[in-house]
């Protein structure tokens, strides 16, 4: 029967250390990926905010250009107070900025043709706003790039979430590896204690073997002594028998 050794626990402990090192490397790689993804998300967020600001300004400018035209068109298209769809008897009244005023408000009266001319004067502004919007849709910053940026932003957020999950899994795996490492250390200590006990048992067995050999030698010597004593006793018995026979023969006489 062979004596137990700690070679197997040592091998297991070495394998666990390699696994722990691999998990630590994996965790470091995931952390680097997470940092890179955060940079990408920051870039996409900045681009998205800038793009939305451009669109807000463009639509705001376009709305400002359309507002006076719509107001004038609504005023000119209203029927007369008397109904029946007749044009209003009161000329359109506007202020210095060209804003249409309600009846009774102070301002300069503007005939119908002047209102039409004012509308035509505002058309270049409106067309410029429309051209700006068209350039946004067809130029470098287009709606397609906005959609792509939004989609990439969503993908980056999902990737960040996945990287976070991977980081959590790696941390849990590291904890499990640390627990396994501690268990391996306990097993290694137990194996060392078992090896010590086995060595002590072997020493005790060797001592018992020596004691058994000594006892066997002593028994052999005792057996020899007993055989010698038996021989001496037999010789004494024979001598006594011979002496008795001789004495009896002497008593009988010739």
pLDDT 10s digits, 198-237: 788 788 878 878 887 787 788 788 788 778 878 887 887 8
pLDDT band at 129 (very low <50, low <70, confident <90, very high): low
Q: pLDDT at residue 106 above 50?
A: no
Share of the chain above pLDDT 70, in %: 56
pLDDT in tens, 2-44: 444 545 777 777 787 888 888 888 888 888 888 887 787 777 7
CA distances from 52 to 76, 139, 143, 154, 254 (A): 36, 15, 10, 16, 161
Residue carrying structure tokens 């004596």: 3
Cα–Cα distance for residue pair 6/19, rounded to 1 Å = 20
Quote the tokens at residue 124: 């270049």
Burial per residue of 96-133, b for 16 or more beta-carbon CB atoms within 10 angstroms, e otherwise: eeeebbeeeeeeeebeeeebeebbeebeebbeebeebe
Give me the helix-helix angle, 143-252 and 7-76, nearest 10°.
160
User: Of 76-80, 122-126, 248-252, where does the model show the most confidence?
Assistant: 248-252
- In the block, tokens 């309600």 appear at 102
pLDDT for 182 equals 78
pLDDT band with cut points at 50, 70 and 90 for residue 132 = low
Q: Which residues contact 152 (CB under 8 A, 6 or more apart)?
A: 44
What distances in angstroms separate CA 150 from CA 36, 49, 130, 132, 161, one per listed residue?
A: 18, 10, 24, 22, 17
Give me the residues paired with residue 109 across strands: 93
CA-CA distance, 179 to 65, in Å (whole number)? Answer: 70
Element (H, E) at 205: helix 143-252
Closest to 89 measured CA to CA, from 103, 71, 100, 99:
103
pLDDT tops 50 at residue 140: no
pLDDT attached to residue 99: 57
How many residues appear in the chain?
A: 254
């Amino acid at each position: 029967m062979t004596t137990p050794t700690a070679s197997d626990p040592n091998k297991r402990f070495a394998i666990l250390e390699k696994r722990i090192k691999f998990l630590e490397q994996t965790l470091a790689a995931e952390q680097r990926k997470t940092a890179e993804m955060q940079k990408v998300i920051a870039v996409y967020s900045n681009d998205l905010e800038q793009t939305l600001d451009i669109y807000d300004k463009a639509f705001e400018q376009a709305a400002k250009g359309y507002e006076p035209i719509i107001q004038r068109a609504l005023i000119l298209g209203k029927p007369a107070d008397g109904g029946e769809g007749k044009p209003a008897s009161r000329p359109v009244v506007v202020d210095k900025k060209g804003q249409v005023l309600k009846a009774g408000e102070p301002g300069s009266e503007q005939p119908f043709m002047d209102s039409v001319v004012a509308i035509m004067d505002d058309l270049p502004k409106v067309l410029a706003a429309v051209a700006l919007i068209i350039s946004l849709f067809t130029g470098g910053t287009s709606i397609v790039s906005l959609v792509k940026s939004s989609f990439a932003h969503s993908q980056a957020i999902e990737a960040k979430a996945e990287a976070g999950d991977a980081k959590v899994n790696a941390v849990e795996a590291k904890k499990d590896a640390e627990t396994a490492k501690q268990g391996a250390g306990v097993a290694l200590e137990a194996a060392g204690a078992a090896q010590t006990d086995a060595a002590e048992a072997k020493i005790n067995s060797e001592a018992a073997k020596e004691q058994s050999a000594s006892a066997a030698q002593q028994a052999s010597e005792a057996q020899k002594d007993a055989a010698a004593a038996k021989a001496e006793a037999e010789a004494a018995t024979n001598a006594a028998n011979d002496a008795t026979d001789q004495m009896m023969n002497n008593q009988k006489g010739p």
